[in-house]
Structure 1
Amino acid sequence: MPIYEYISEQPDDPERSCRICSRGFELRRPIDRAPLEKCLTCRNPVRKVISRINTPKILKPLSVSDAKKAGFTVMERRDKGVYEKL
C-alpha cells in the first residue's frame, strides 16, 4: 500500500485545523480508495500533498564487475540472436 501525505487546507488557522493536520501527516491507504477529504481527528478539510520521490543517484554507469558483484548475469551479443555469458 502506498503512503499518502495530507495537510490541512488552512494550516495557519487554529480553528480550522488541529495540531496533527496543521503540520501534515502520512497515511497508508489502498490505491483504489478515494483520497481523504477530512482529518481523522478534527474532521476539518485536508488536501493531498504531492511528495518528493526518493530515488537513488547513479553517478556512473555500472561496469561488468559491478553487475556481477550485484548478482546479475552479464551477456554480450556475438551474432544475430546469439549471446555469450561473460
Structure 2
Amino acid sequence: MPIYEYLSEQPDDPEHSCPRCSRGFELRRPVDRPPLEKCPLCRHPVRKVISKINTPTVTKPFSQTDAKKAGFTVLEKRDDGVYEKM
C-alpha cells in the first residue's frame, strides 16, 4: 500500500486544524480508495500533498584506479570477444 501525505487546508489557523493535521501526517491507504477529505481526529478539511521523491544521486563513473581500489577487475576490449585484464 502506498503512503499518502495530508495537510490541513488552513494549517496556520488553530480553530480549523488540530496539531496533527496542521503539521501534516502520513497515512497508508489502498490505491483504490479515494483521498481523505477530513482529518481523522478533528474532522476539519485536509488536502493530499505531493511528497518529495527519493532519487539516487548521480555519481561520476569510477576511474580505472578507483575501480581497482574498490576491488573490481578492469578489462579492456582488444578484439572481437577478446578482453585483456588491465
TM-score normalised according to structure 1 size? 0.69
4+ aligned runs moved over 4 Å, structure 1: none
What is the 5 A alignment of 1:29-44?
A: 29-44=29-44
Q: Which residue of 1 aligns with 2:45?
A: 45
What is the alpha-carbon root mean square deviation over aligned residues? 2.6
For these two proteins, the number of residue pairs brought into alignment is 72
% of aligned pairs identical? 73
TM-score normalised according to structure 2 size? 0.69
**Is 1:19 aligned with 2:31?**
no
Q: Look up the SS of the partner of 1:4 in the other structure.
A: strand
Q: Structure 1 residues 62, 3: CA separation in 2 closer, same or farther (over 3 Å shift)?
A: farther
Unaligned runs of 5+ in 2: 72-80
Unaligned runs of 5+ in 1: 70-83
Q: Deviations over 1:12-37 (max 9, x none)?
A: 11110000000000001111110010
